[in-house]
Structure 1
Amino acid sequence: MDAIDRNILNLLVVDGRMSLTDIARSVALSVPAVKRRIGRLERDGVIKGYTAIVAEPGARKLHALVELFCAGQTEREDIIRVFQDRPEVLVAFTVAGDSDVVMLVQTDGTDHLESLLIDLRRHPLVRQTRSQVMLNTLMGRITL
């Protein structure tokens, strides 16, 4: 993966429906070249899928950053099993620092968040969690 692939990924993270023409213009490639690169990124598993984030009318969602601290040396696949079936987890990152994983989660409120944290802590690989509830969005751009 080179710098152009990373630029394409960043554009798709910000707008997964961005047209191939707009992406090509942004990265200074032809549309067929961008299509080939995206196809390769999908085949290689770098792009795992596309999703729509739907806001429920009248529903206020609670977002939080949740850090997982895992016991001992754990394999990536084992860590993923801790949260892969939890629809509340929107995205998860391995990180350098005190924790092993940082996740962005969305819940229906504080009771739902507390229930999620309790369930996560019950997993034998999880030593501890630490969370921060998000209050307001100051900017909505996401890049990797």
Structure 2
Amino acid sequence: MDTVDRQILDQLTVNARTSLTDIARTISLSVPAVKRRIGRLERDGVIRGYTTIVAEPGARKLHAVVELFCAGQIQREDITRVFADRPEVLVAFTAAGDSDVVMLVQTDDTDHLESLLMDLRRHPLVSQTRSRVMLNTLMGRLTL
């Protein structure tokens, strides 16, 4: 992957529906060249998909970062079972540092978040949680 590929990815990350013509014009490349590069990035697994983010009426609106601290040595599979069946968990990462797992969660409100945290704390592998409620979205680029 080179600088031109990164420029293409930057354009698609901001808006996955950006036209090939607009990308080509922005990075001074031909439309067929942009199309070939995007195809290669898809085949190589760099671009794993495209998504639509829908804000539905009544959709969950409260986002929080939740850190899990685990008791003793844990296996990834074991700790994943703590939250795998929770639809509130949008993404979870193992982490270096104080916490063992960092999750981005989405709940209906603070009562829902509190209930989720209480459930997580009841699990024998979880010794502690720490959370931060997100106030406003400044940018929405989540790349996994």
Does 2:33 align with 1:33? yes
1:47 corresponding residue in structure 2: 47
Q: Give a deviation string over 1:19-54, Cα, whole Å, max 9, x none.
A: 111122222222222222222222222222111111
CA contact (8 A) 1:65 1:105 kept: yes
Equivalent-residue separation in structure 2 for 1:80 and 1:42 (angstroms) = 28
Equivalent-residue separation in structure 2 for 1:102 and 1:55 (angstroms) = 24
* Length-normalised TM-score, structure 2: 0.66
Larger gyration radius, structure 1 or structure 2: 2
Aligned-residue RMSD, C-alpha: 3.5
* Length-normalised TM-score, structure 1: 0.66
1:130 deviation in Å?
A: 2.7
Q: Percent identity?
A: 77
CA contact (8 A) 1:95 1:101 kept: yes
2:8 corresponding residue in structure 1: 8
Give unpaired runs (5+ residues) of structure 1.
Answer: none
SS in 1 for 2:51: coil
2:139 corresponding residue in structure 1: 140
1:131 corresponding residue in structure 2: 131
**Residues 22 and 59 (structure 1 numbering): CA distance in 2 closer, same or farther, change over 3 Å?**
same
Equivalent-residue separation in structure 1 for 2:125 and 2:43 (angstroms) = 31
- The alignment of Structure 1 onto Structure 2 pairs a total of residues equal to 142
1:104 corresponding residue in structure 2: 104
Larger relative contact order (C-alpha < 8 A, sep ≥ 6)?
1
CA contact (8 A) 1:14 1:143 kept: no
**Residues 78 and 18 (structure 1 numbering): CA distance in 2 closer, same or farther, change over 3 Å?**
farther
Give unpaired runs (5+ residues) of structure 2.
Answer: none
**Residues 73 and 59 (structure 1 numbering): CA distance in 2 closer, same or farther, change over 3 Å?**
closer
What amino acid is the match of 2:104? L
What amino acid is the match of 2:139? G
